[in-house]
Amino acid sequence: MSVRGWAIAVTTVVGLAASVVATTAASSAPGCEGAAPADAAALLECVTVDTVRAHQRALQDVADANGGNRASGTPGYDASVEYVVRTAREAGLTVTTEALEFPFFEVESESLESDGTEYVAGTDFATMSFSGSGDVTGTAVPVDLQVPPRGSSTSGCEPVDFADFPDGEIALLQRGTCPFGVKAANALDAGAAAAIVVNSGETPENSGLLQATLGEPVDLPVVGATAALADALAGATVSLATTSQSGTRTTTNVLAEKPGTGDEVLMVGAHLDSVPEGPGINDNGSGSAAVLAVAQAMAGAETARTVRFAWWGAEELGLVGATSYVTNLPEPERARISAYLNFDMVGSPNAVRFVYDGDDSDAVGAPAGPEGSAAIEDVFEEFYDDRGLTHEGTDFNGRSDYGPFIAAGIPAGGLFTGAEGVKTPEQAQRHGGTAGEAYDPCYHAACDTFDNVDTAVLDQNADAVAYATYTLAS
């Protein structure tokens, strides 16, 4: 799952390679015992958690063989694509791949120290995407901070915020109001040698580590940090060092299709890439594996709508693959899409069964999705309710690959089991798990491995993916 939102990256499609397999579908999918599923109940029998876990194991093996990650633009991602393409072809699906260029960023090293305290990368601070490199020691000079926070901060959003800023020092900024790239550019123009952007701190979710992007390369070392570092660093002597690479690389979307009897297309997707920090077996090996298992099982099914399964590239860098696909799809083809289903993190170890709030019935955050999104939400809620499984809504905030689809007016929905957010006591009492801990304590970390999964929840959600896909394709 991206921490960045959807519309930040401009991509160029550099090629489309289609590989058409034999028209006869594979005789069976794992768990089907030779028969193509004739209804949703039969499909659920075909989609087993053992199959999903086998796909996750394959992705873990890919990461292990390629430096510990499967990030877009790396050999680990290319090997993940090869695995999905091969598996989908063997199931009898028509597979195409779409290559696209994207702005690449990688952190090689990072450190932050003040008054003898060495802060922990990935816990206390993190280099912002497209930060420059540098090794700086100076005073952390607060720039219009709100401590304690009183609302949305405007820290660093205007050049006037840096009036009398001492040349060569480190700007201590705060999240809020304007893009991080604007804050960094203003700091650079004011003569800052580096910048630290602390989280805003007005809510628990905005108090932890700030991981974000500058949107485009900035010739200044810039890190995000927890809200607590505002007090700890203000006025102190700080040593900050970052080494990073920025450039252009190529990633790949994978599309696998089974035909329907009508003209409409149901799309079902998950992002295939991990962050550079780890193998990404929950984020988003869980969604990728569940979608792949359903695709295998549905290859021979008869449905009214064509089902087009998608594994997106470079989601973690700003929904690059999905945005490129929607942007470059001709309008007549876009109009054929009846709905898009998204599955990003569906097996978190401290999970809540979240359903995207398509009708905005929770009245939290973003408004309702395009017409038809509420009906998709109803399908998932019906699945859970019929099985006595607890669930709740989650904001339709465009943070995953459904973002460009709803921006284009396409109905969407899907499932999510939580990322860095903290489970409340009320949620723990209702859904189980541990209050006061993140839904996924290994979110965007090296420990997001094969073992970082609630297998029972993954099993339930793989069935939910299958049920919703068959129901909405019929």
Q: Which residues are catalytic?
A: 315
Cα separation of the two ends of the chain: 29
Residue 164: left if φ>0, alpha if ψ -120 to 50, beta else—which one? left
* Closest of 170, 208, 207 to residue 187, by C-alpha: 170
**CA–CA distance, 460 with 379 (Å, rounded to integer):** 14
**Could you please report the per-residue DSSP string of 335-365?**
HHEEEEEEES----TT---EEE-TT-TT--S
What is the tally of helices (H) and strands (E) in the chain? Answer: 12, 15
**Alpha carbons 257 and 408: distance in angstroms, whole number:** 21
Two tokens, residue 182: 């604007």
> What CA–CA distance (Å, rounded) separates 64 from 71?
13
Q: Cα 426 from chain centroid?
A: 26
Q: What is the DSSP track for 239-255?
A: EEEEEEEEEEEEEEEEE
**Residue 409 vs residues 131, 195, 331, 443, 468: alpha-carbon distances, Å:** 34, 38, 12, 30, 20
Structure tokens at 16: 């489309």
The residues facing 356 across adjacent strands are: 394
Helix (H, G, I), strand (E, B) or coil at 170: strand
How many residues in the chain? Answer: 474
Encode burial over 186-199: b for 16+ CB neighbours within 10 A, e otherwise. bbbebebbbbbbbb
For residues 62, 63, 69 and 73, what is the CA-based torsion angle, rounded to 10 degrees? -20
The encoded tokens of residue 470 equal 């068959």
Cis peptide before 69 (omega within 30 of 0): no
- Residues with Cβ within 8 Å of 179's Cβ and at least 6 positions away in sequence, in order, are 214, 215
Measure the CA–CA gap between 345 and 38, rounded to whole angstroms: 28
